[in-house]
Structure 1
Amino acid sequence: MRMKPQYIFVIAAVAVVTLYFIIRTIFGGGETPNEAKAKPVANAPASVQARLIPAVSRDVQVVLRGRTESARTVVVRSETAGVVASAPAAEGSFVNRGAVLCRLAVDARQASLDQARANMRLRQLQQQAAVELSNKGYRSKTQVLESQASLDAAQATVRQAEIALNQVNIRAPFAGVFDRRDAEIGAYLSPGQPCGTIIELNPLLIVGDVPETEAAKLRVGAPATARLVSGQMIAGRVRYVARDADPQTRTYRVEVSAANPRMDVRSGLSAEVRIGTGAGQAHLVPVSTLVLDSAGRQGVRYLTADNRVAFAPVTVMEEGPDGIWVLGLGGPQRVITVGQSYVAEGQKVSVALVR
């Protein structure tokens, strides 16, 4: 059966087109103008954007997390045995030095003191009589000395009785807050048992731990500020930097002493502590410029004079609404702000400076 001429033409056209695409695929020919334009130029330098950031002199600070503590905390204990007869100090109240926190029953202590005083008066009269008789020749010097020794013993007994009577009053050793009561009226206290706990809140301590990399920067007397969880700011000075590290954390204890005259700041509050260590050259860079190098160090990439990429490890000082302040860049630098994650140290790049 003969095919129609139009069918033969269509089959031939399809065969020619198919053969064209097969040859084009094999030999890679026939790029369109748009395809040729889309191909990158071989060995062209990478393009980055950079910003010239000046160095600014700023106070350098060590920042750490801390907490408030009382300057002194003492458990006040009984020196003698007895039943608690009264509790003049209210729990949580401010007390002056010497204020009575617990008062024990006097029992026979007053009677013992009265007896000791009466005996002392008797010994005084005997000693006076012995001196007068000795002056008249009726007493020897030895007898006078014996009467004087008896008087001295009687006076010592009086002092002992006075101390025993005074010990019924358990007093505050310093001005502070009577934070916790351990003995109520009617409780029996033996020597050494606690009446309560008193804490000193003025001055107040803010304590924290610094890593070994920062400890050498701190000095006793350095100014410090602390922001409490409530937002309140208090200022003070470093009073102590430990010389021996904690064996578990390898950190050093730091204590800041701050005035707290109204004692409105409590012990145990969390705080962000900033301790001044001097002045240094800082740069305000965008947060996005921070990268990590192959060693895992945090820093920024900047450009050398011949437009090659360099890396500088930095220390973050503080973060603000316009960026973060960092140390470690030296003088003014062209910091890479776009493309810093796609270039490597030593690579030559094409730079577009932005403001």
Structure 2
Amino acid sequence: MRLKPQYMFIVAVVAVLVLFFLLGAVFGGAGPDAKAKGPAAPSGPPTVQAKVSTPVQRELQVVMRGRTEAARSVVVRSETAGVVAAVPAAEGSFVRQGQILCRLAVDARQASLDQARAALRARQLQREAAARLAEQGYRSETQVLESQAALDAAQAGVRVAEIALRQVEIRAPFSGVFDRRDAEVGTYLSPGQPCGTLIELDPLLVVGDAPETEAGRLKAGAPAQARLVSGQVLNGRVRFVARDADPQTRTYRVEVVIPNSGNGTRSGLSAELRVNTGVDVAHLAPVSSLVLDAKGRQGVRHVLADGRAAFSPVTVLEETPEGLWVSGLSGTVNIITVGQSFVADGQKVRVAQAR
């Protein structure tokens, strides 16, 4: 049979009261004694793990990504116009300074030189004749000077013709590798057009980009080491450290000069570049031990002799697989490696040495 609404309301009230008393019996059964006990008192200072770090004299390095580059790279261009008649230097070959890379057709340049030399001989004879006649009183001093000026002009004409003839031979400005040839036999070159590209690989440059936080530690003349992707290790010295940062990356260009006898190492290879920056006292700290204090300074927390925690700001000198080499700590320190973020300066701690 169906219950009336007033009966349903009474049953609901009774059910709520029964539930209330049941919950009170379960959660409130501790009684007054339980309330008197209150929260459990702390058992003692917090426990942290720490690792002893002793100072060592360490040769510090700045590590950066780099690449090999040619010490010099020049596009050798024609100084005169003409058709390429010969290309004696093979592309990719080593050439000596002064060796011909491209030779243009002589055309009428040799004839122009012969003509200039003939004019020079004629002017020399005229100058000699004018000098003899002047001695006999048949020529004035002005006429002698005019013949001398004509002789000087003829000599200049010979030099111009010689230079024009010499310019048909496009030569290497320094010893290096003729890396790319841009002109073939039959190519017409105007003044300024390229014959090819010459690069100097001995010595070789290893170029890196130092971050602005490290650039101040780099000095010209510092020893450096480059490890190529092949595993080959090259040793050299810093030649140049830029004073102006790249506007895009905010890094500073670093150039290391490395001997490359025989041009065995190519340009454009990736390398890991390490530059020595001197010797300093450093401590080895785990990467996870670094924290920030209330002022935003980076440092480590360590345990003092009296068992209290303390914070010391540090400067990261080098990152290695074993950890971070840092400066700013004095003497042997017990660096907190676990729990450093949960203790305050001056707080007593219990130490469990880290493994």
- TM-score (norm. length: structure 1): 0.83
The equivalent residue for 1:25 is: 29
Report if the CA contact (8 A) 1:281-1:331 is conserved. Answer: no
The equivalent residue for 1:129 is: 129
The equivalent residue for 2:94 is: 94
Q: Indicate the larger mover: 132-141 or 159-168.
A: 132-141
Question: Deviation digits for residues 183-214 of structure 1, max 9, x if unmatched?
Answer: 11110000111111111122222222222222
Structure 1 gap ranges (5+)? 1-17, 31-38
Question: Deviation digits for residues 14-62 of structure 1, max 9, x if unmatched?
Answer: xxxx9xx8598342879xxxxxxxx975151112232322100011222
Alpha-carbon separation, structure 1, partners of 2:295 and 2:229: 36
Q: Indicate the larger mover: 148-157 or 296-305.
A: 296-305
Matches within 5 A, 1:68-87: 68-87=68-87
Report if the CA contact (8 A) 2:60-2:317 is conserved. Answer: no
Report if the CA contact (8 A) 2:282-2:327 is conserved. Answer: yes
Alpha-carbon separation, structure 2, partners of 1:226 and 1:182: 33
Alpha-carbon separation, structure 1, partners of 2:40 and 2:285: 32
The equivalent residue for 1:49 is: 49
**Amino acid in structure 2 at the alignment position of 1:309:** A
Matches within 5 A, 1:153-302: 153-287=153-287, 289-290=289-290, 299-302=299-302
The equivalent residue for 2:316 is: 315
Deviation (angstroms), 1:342: 4.7
Report if the CA contact (8 A) 1:45-1:349 is conserved. Answer: yes
The 1:133/1:22 distance shift into structure 2, 3 A limit, reads: closer
Secondary structure at 2:249 match in 1: coil
The equivalent residue for 2:18 is: none
**Amino acid in structure 2 at the alignment position of 1:317:** E
Alpha-carbon separation, structure 2, partners of 1:47 and 1:77: 75
Q: Indicate the larger mover: 219-228 or 169-178.
A: 219-228
Alpha-carbon separation, structure 2, partners of 1:350 and 1:237: 49
Alpha-carbon separation, structure 2, partners of 1:23 and 1:163: 110
**Amino acid in structure 2 at the alignment position of 1:146:** E
Alpha-carbon separation, structure 1, partners of 2:129 and 2:27: 147
**Amino acid in structure 1 at the alignment position of 2:89:** A
Deviation (angstroms), 1:107: 0.6
Deviation (angstroms), 1:353: 4.0
Report if the CA contact (8 A) 1:244-1:252 is conserved. Answer: yes
Report if the CA contact (8 A) 1:71-1:200 is conserved. Answer: yes
Q: Indicate the larger mover: 97-106 or 114-123.
A: 114-123
Q: Indicate the larger mover: 261-270 or 179-188.
A: 261-270
The equivalent residue for 1:7 is: none
The 1:218/1:285 distance shift into structure 2, 3 A limit, reads: same
Report if the CA contact (8 A) 1:300-1:314 is conserved. Answer: no
Report if the CA contact (8 A) 1:48-1:351 is conserved. Answer: yes
Alpha-carbon separation, structure 2, partners of 1:90 and 1:109: 26
Report if the CA contact (8 A) 1:317-1:327 is conserved. Answer: no
The 1:281/1:178 distance shift into structure 2, 3 A limit, reads: same
Alpha-carbon separation, structure 2, partners of 1:22 and 1:84: 106
**Amino acid in structure 1 at the alignment position of 2:263:** M
The equivalent residue for 1:144 is: 144
**Amino acid in structure 1 at the alignment position of 2:351:** V
Alpha-carbon separation, structure 2, partners of 1:293 and 1:91: 62
Report if the CA contact (8 A) 1:134-1:140 is conserved. Answer: yes
What is the percent sequence identity of the aligned residues?
66
Question: Deviation digits for residues 247-301 of structure 1, max 9, x if unmatched?
Answer: 2222222222222222222222222212222211122344554556677766543
The 1:274/1:295 distance shift into structure 2, 3 A limit, reads: farther
Alpha-carbon separation, structure 1, partners of 2:243 and 2:323: 36
The equivalent residue for 2:17 is: none
The equivalent residue for 1:9 is: none
Structure 2 gap ranges (5+)? 1-21
Secondary structure at 1:89 match in 2: coil
The 1:127/1:301 distance shift into structure 2, 3 A limit, reads: same
Deviation (angstroms), 1:337: 3.7
Alpha-carbon separation, structure 1, partners of 2:106 and 2:267: 36
